[in-house]
Amino acid sequence: MKLTILETGLPPEAIRDDWPRYPAMFEELISPHMPGLTCESIAISQGAPFPELEEVDALLVTGSAAGVYEAHDWMNPLLNYIQRAAAKGVPQIGVCFGHQAVAKALGAKVEKSDKGWGLGRHVYDVCERPDWMGDFSDDTFSLGVSHQDQVLSLPPGASVVARSDFCPYAVLDYGSVPAISFQGHPEFSQGFCCALYNVRRNTAFSAERVDDACGSLDTPVDNSLVGAWMSNFLRRSGPAQES
């Protein structure tokens, strides 16, 4: 299977040379669970054209500093592309901004949350267990986060897979539309999360808030588990299941 990764943002300039770009992070996350997976990266936020859907096995929409409600040249084309992919049955995964973009394109309300920024390790309560979760039986899992926008309503036909008090629509499964999305960042290491938070130290975030967020990530998060879930979803939904 080929996974087409729509790159919708870059790491902040201050740390850009120190870390891989987001598509590389996702390839590192998913590939160990899915031998034979190939990935291509399309930098749509940098002006790259969208690929023809007939040439796409599956899509992943990355995180971004942009908001889905902002008037970037590529925003409406992205939402339209997600809708067309859904209509064609192309499997899709969204993460953070990508979670919000998939949800909005498929009918949800997405806005800046009045709860403010989520940082650090967040724990999510599991509400249901779709087949792509395999034999997972725990009641919670955790991921590092960095967001202030949130999905604020459920798209038609979708269900909430996991939630928290801070983020009630944290993980969605879109039912008959082959798509799943996650507000948290399974592709972000502890080191990258802390570097990201420190970019805004003493500006958007107090030094104490950054230290607390970084400290919370001393407790392990479930990145590899979510990478396995993503690979399970791709195998069940995409061309690889037919081979």
17-64 tens-digit pLDDT: 999 999 999 999 999 999 999 999 999 999 999 999 999 999 999 999
Three-class DSSP category at 86:
helix
Structure tokens at 94: 């969204």
pLDDT of 241 strictly over 90: no
**Whether residue 96 lies in the annotated active site:** yes
**Whether residue 147 lies in the annotated active site:** no
Band (238; pLDDT cuts 50, 70, 90): confident
What is the rounded average pLDDT for all residues in the chain? 96
Q: Which of 7, 39, 122, 187 is catalytic?
A: 187
CATH number 3.40.50.880 given to 2-188+221-242: yes
**Whether residue 40 lies in the annotated active site:** no
- Where along the chain do its domains lie? 2-188+221-242
Interval 200-214: pLDDT, tens: 999 999 999 999 999
Structure tokens at 192: 């990258």
In angstroms, rounded to a whole number, what is the distance separating the alpha carbons of residues 163 and 150?
Answer: 12
Q: Which of 7, 39, 96, 214 is catalytic?
A: 96
